């Protein structure tokens, strides 16, 4: 069976410096993979490269989405094809409401005109499931949002945009344990609706993995995946740190 996301010998540079030095990773339908690593290992570089961030150059290797090579595709085309990134630090956009933003994003993803009413019905349903206040829909995107609200908003986007693969870039960053559980429950709810969704959760900490329970844990150290295995890999990191793999 064709993997939903396949990363083959990926080398990525920024400002002339090589950051990723040959990353291989494959995510099948319905699988949750976790990527752990110390600061500066290249975790967020991988997330940015997957979505085609112009500051990062793929110097070798390829990225395949559902069997199609998307390495040279622009960010908007990748997103339309079903690749989703939940940001570590989501941007705020003044003057654009959450509803407006989601309506435009959903229309771009489906190529069909979507009414405000359709968006509001879906949003109301999902905001209820994610424990979000109904007034959230009319607020400007991420303006004055708490860390937890920003992360819930990312999960709301993931629910409504129905991606093929969701990349969660340190979604647990800056969250207390209660907010973290809300985010994890949101991911579970989305996967409950769409069990075929592939997830790549990028994190520093084991605590997110206790809530998400990944099928595979990968360790990224100095631009390379140095070990892959089950949840026990995260236990090894918790016990010994990353020095063992440097």
CATH assignment at residue 182: 3.40.50.300
DSSP string for residues in 176-239 = -HHHHHHHHHHHHHHHHH-TT-EEEEEES-HHHHHHH--SEEEEEETTEEEEEESTHHHHHHHH
Report pLDDT for 52. 95
What's residue 53's pLDDT? 94
Number of domain units in the chain: 1
Residues of the chain with pLDDT under 70: 87-92, 172-175
Coil vs helix vs strand at 50: helix
pLDDT of res. 91:
66
Strands 216-221 and 198-203: unpaired
pLDDT for res 88: 66
What was the pLDDT predicted at 59? 97
pLDDT score at 89: 62
C-alpha 225/C-alpha 221 separation (Å) is 6
- Provide the pLDDT for residue 226: 95
Residue 171: closest CA among 242, 85, 93: 85
pLDDT the model gives residue 62: 98
Determine the structural domain holding residue 214 and report its residue range: 5-245
What would the pLDDT profile of 71-94 be if each residue is shown by its tens digit?
999 999 999 999 998 866 666 677
| CA distances for 161 relative to 104, 126, 133, 156, 223, angstroms | 10, 12, 20, 9, 31
């Amino acid at each position: 069976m064709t993997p939903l996301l396949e990363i083959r010998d990926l080398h990525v540079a920024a400002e002339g410096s090589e950051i990723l030095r040959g990353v291989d990773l494959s995510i099948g339908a319905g699988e949750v993979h976790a990527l752990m690593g110390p600061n500066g290992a290249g975790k967020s570089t991988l997330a940015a490269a997957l979505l085609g961030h112009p500051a990062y150059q793929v110097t070798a290797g390829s990225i395949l989405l559902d069997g199609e090579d998307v390495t040279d595709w622009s960010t908007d085309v990748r997103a339309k094809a079903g690749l989703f990134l939940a940001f570590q630090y989501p941007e705020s956009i003044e003057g654009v409401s959450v509803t407006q933003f989601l309506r435009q994003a959903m229309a771009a993803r489906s190529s069909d005109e979507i009414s405000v009413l359709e968006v509001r019905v879906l949003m109301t349903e999902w905001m209820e499931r994610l424990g979000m206040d109904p007034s959230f829909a009319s607020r400007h995107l991420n303006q004055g949002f708490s860390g937890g609200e920003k992360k819930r908003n990312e999960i709301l986007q993931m629910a409504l945009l129905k991606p093929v693969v969701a990349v969660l870039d340190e979604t647990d960053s800056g969250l207390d344990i209660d907010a973290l559980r809300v985010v994890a429950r949101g991911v579970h709810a989305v996967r409950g609706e769409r069990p075929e969704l592939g997830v790549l959760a990028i994190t520093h900490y084991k605590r997110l993995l206790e809530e998400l329970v990944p099928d595979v844990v990968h360790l990224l150290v100095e631009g390379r995946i140095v070990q892959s295995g089950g949840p026990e890999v995260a236990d090894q990191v918790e016990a010994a740190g990353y020095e063992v793999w440097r």
